[in-house]
Amino acid sequence: MKERILKDHTKVPLLGHGTWHLGEHPGRRVDEIATLHWGIEHGMTLIDTAEMYGNGASEELIGEAIADQNREILYLVSKVYPWNAGEDHIFQACEDSLNRLRTDYLDLYLLHWRGEIPLEETVSSMEELKAQGKILNWGCIKL
């Protein structure tokens, strides 16, 4: 699998699982988990999700799917809602995502899109999450 090397020397797979709509239909759960397993077994170890995908259902499904996987080979990305991106809510939002994903850290945590919270506050909060070891990297998309 091809990778991109970030400025901090982190290797990020260029291809990964997008999980929008996963976990929203209980009748598809077995097939969705099998698809994630198949991808991981074939080298697609980046999994991208967000707290908004199925209102957390996608993260829950991923957590179930990766429970028996080697966490060290996975690159987990999740995204925070803009209204949760400030110091009042980001820490709980991140913890909720970690709990749903059944992991104790995210490889990358993103601001899903720009909202009303000052970007400086979001950056400061992301840096604090990183210092706590909850996230390894952070970023903002669709600014």
SS3 state at 143: coil
Q: How far apart are CA 84 and CA 91, in angstroms?
A: 9
SS3 state at 65: helix
- Spot the catalytic one: 53, 75, 81, 105: 53
Q: How far apart are CA 132 and CA 105, in angstroms?
A: 10
Q: End-to-end alpha-carbon separation of the chain, Å?
A: 29
The question of whether 53 is a catalytic residue gets the answer yes
Q: Which residues contact 11 (CB under 8 A, 6 or more apart)?
A: 3, 4, 5
Q: Residues with catalytic annotation?
A: 53
